[in-house]
Amino acid sequence: MQPIRTFVLIILDFKEEEIVAHIKEYDVFIRLGVSNTICIITEEALRSTVIAIDCKACESGRGSFKCIYEYLFKHIGDSKYRTLFDFHRLIRNTIHTNGIYLPENNKDVDLNLFGMMFKFTVGKKVDFLTMKILLSLISEYNTAFFEIFENEKIKSIDYIKRLF
């Protein structure tokens, strides 16, 4: 006999003065969710590619994301997307600290991307991850992936197995 499953729908009533705060939190949730999904897709694709090139490279694909994309750049002889990957890696790493930049090396980083200067200041919240920036990231990743995977050294790989 199958167990009976019960689903409970909880409807919360918010006080009028709480609504703005909840909308702001929802906005953060959506932006970070989109950002992390982009990172997940990108990282899996690049890790799978590095493993296909050399199964022992970057600790058999288990190295840091920076190790992965630096290896790939060296392999294809082109690193023009380094700032894009650096930017998003730094953004993604703030998920562990609710958006506050706390790098292991305790150093600030300034990156110029999309014609703008982005300052990652130790101990400060990263507040520039807007939907406009996210859409720019998606567009730039589209261009980067096209160029990376059209590179002859990558195109010559017969098969790239996904990690799962």
- Looking at the domain assignment, is residue 106 inside a domain? yes
Q: Are 89 and 65 in contact (CB under 8 A)?
A: yes
Mapping DSSP to helix (H, G, I), strand (E, B) and coil, where does residue 116 land? strand
* Cβ within 8 Å of residue 145, ≥6 positions away: 42, 45
Residue 5: what pLDDT? 72
Residue 7: what pLDDT? 66
Residue 77: what pLDDT? 95
- Looking at the domain assignment, is residue 102 inside a domain? yes
Q: pTM for the complete prediction?
A: 0.83
Encoding tokens for residue 105?
């090396």
- Looking at the domain assignment, is residue 24 inside a domain? no
* Residue type (1 letter), 36: N
Q: Which domain holds residue 51?
A: 34-155
Residue 9: what pLDDT? 64
- Looking at the domain assignment, is residue 129 inside a domain? yes
Q: What is the pLDDT along the chain (164 residues), one digit of tens a residue?
A: 677 776 666 667 778 888 888 888 888 889 888 999 999 999 999 999 999 999 999 999 999 999 999 999 999 999 999 999 999 999 999 888 888 999 999 999 999 999 999 999 999 999 888 999 999 999 999 999 999 999 999 999 999 998 76
- Looking at the domain assignment, is residue 46 inside a domain? yes
The DSSP result for 67-113, as a single string, is HHHHHHHHHHT--TTHHHHHHHHHHHHGGGGTTB---TT---EEEEE
- Looking at the domain assignment, is residue 160 inside a domain? no
CA gap 30, 44 in Å, rounded: 21
- Looking at the domain assignment, is residue 10 inside a domain? no
Nearest to 137 by CA among 47, 36, 46: 36
Report the DSSP pairing between strands 109-113 and 116-120.
antiparallel
- Looking at the domain assignment, is residue 15 inside a domain? no
Q: Are 38 and 137 in contact (CB under 8 A)?
A: yes
How many domains does one find in the chain? 1
